[in-house]
Structure 1
Amino acid sequence: MEDEKEAAAIRRGVLRLARRLRTERPEGALSTNKTSVLAHLLHHGPTTPGDLAAAERQQPQSLTRVFADLEGAGLVSRTRSAADRRQVLLAITEEGRRAFTEDMAQRDVWLGSALGGLNHTERQVLILAAGLMDRLATTD
């Protein structure tokens, strides 16, 4: 029962912070799905649309429009796989890297300002928690 209460408290805090960070998106910012796709390609390199959808826990069909929009905007490119010419690989472009970085920058400004209201120990606790949350996010 105590584990469930702790889990609920962490979930509430994470969700509230995530909502707040979404509200700090700049005007005309990329959608959450587009940001997730760019982040995945940035951190994991070129991948097939199916593998990317699986990693994002979405159906490939639900991301088809996102992929097309990103490609149309020059943020991702599609190429044939050298290993299997039947497969298409998506890759982030330099323009995609720039767009992603700019999209994150405004939220980072807000978060940096908010962190300024915390003392050194509180900031260090959050840095530790961020690493732990990253680790939890990769567990199945």
Structure 2
Amino acid sequence: MADQPRRKPLAEQSTELRLAIMRLSRRLRQERADTELSASQFSALGWIAGEGPLTLGRLAELERVTPPSMNRTVNCLAESGLVAREGAPDDGRKVLVRTTEAGDAIMRETRRRRDAWFAKRFAALSPDERAVLADAADILRRIADQ
């Protein structure tokens, strides 16, 4: 009977996976169209671009920060011309934040850069490795959604 490779303990496996995900995430974050924005500004811009116009309160919830902190972030984005405030069509007392064309352009270019960076590396993998990562994507999405 051939010796089976010894599996690492569950805690060690999860730590190694977490570190690999963090390194990949950090590397992908480097592929941005605008390097002047802080990470929190870029993240807020991403939520607004992806979800459509949002209230400051909802944006603060999504980013898990306080509304005053989000207001400062949105003020910086507005001063840079990347977002604009507008009244909600159904309630004039509500203020929505939407991306401007400049904000949308930054998000499109960033997405293009990130997709290109990752696609180049993904294409260099074997078909079996790509299949493993496709399965892993579903599993990681499920973990993230819990």
- TM-score scaled to structure 2, two decimals? 0.77
User: Counterparts of 1:1-140 in structure 2 under 5 Å?
Assistant: 3-25=10-32, 28=35, 30-139=37-146
Secondary structure of the residue aligned to 1:28 is: coil
The alpha-carbon distance between structure 1 residues 13 and 24, as it changes in their structure 2 partners (threshold 3 A), is same
CA RMSD, 1 decimal:
2.4
The alpha-carbon distance between structure 1 residues 132 and 35, as it changes in their structure 2 partners (threshold 3 A), is farther
Whose strand fraction is larger, Structure 1's or Structure 2's? 2
Larger radius of gyration: 2
Contact 2:33/2:106 (<8 A) preserved:
no
- CA positional deviation for 1:94: 2.8
Q: Structure 1 stretches of 5 or more lacking a match?
A: none
- Indicate the percent of aligned positions where both proteins have the same amino acid: 36
**More off after superposition, 48-57 vs 80-89:** 80-89
Counterpart amino acid of residue 129 in structure 1: A
Q: Structure 2 stretches of 5 or more lacking a match?
A: 1-8
Moved over 6 A (4+): none
1:98-118 Cα deviation digits (max 9, x unpaired): 111112322332222222331
